[in-house]
Amino acid sequence: MSGGAGAERELGYIEMRLHVLSALALAVERRADLVDLVADAPDVGAAAAALGAWGLDDAQARAVLDLQVRRLAGRERERLEAERERLLARRAELGG
């Protein structure tokens, strides 16, 4: 694919999504800790701040807190990994 503005936008989206996927994968992996963290937090802002101790930035913390509980099922890890692999392959196609 030629490197035009569309490709640059797509690469930007891919990078952002990979960044968020890494946080979602961590949340699925540490789901019991996540439930405790959210339950113990006095509000969403405190929960987001506590996720900073996991090394997550604001965008990642927001994505984790937006997760629906059903998305914490064990198979979700497989789905997240499959999406990550597709995005990495697409990024390579675009030369990113």
- 22-75: pLDDT as tens digits: 999 999 999 999 999 999 999 999 999 999 999 999 999 999 999 988 888 878
Domain count, the chain: 1
Which CATH number fits the domain that encloses residue 61?
1.10.268.10
* CA atoms of 96 and 93, how far apart (whole Å): 8
What pLDDT is recorded for position 1?
47
Cβ burial, residue 51 (10 Å; 0-12/13-18/19+): buried
pLDDT at 2 over 60: no
Rg over alpha carbons for the chain, rounded to the nearest Å, is: 15
Q: What is the mean pLDDT of residues 16-23?
A: 97
What pLDDT is recorded for position 77?
84
Cβ burial, residue 95 (10 Å; 0-12/13-18/19+): exposed
pTM of the predicted model as reported, rounded to 2 decimal places: 0.86
Q: Which domain holds residue 57?
A: 5-94
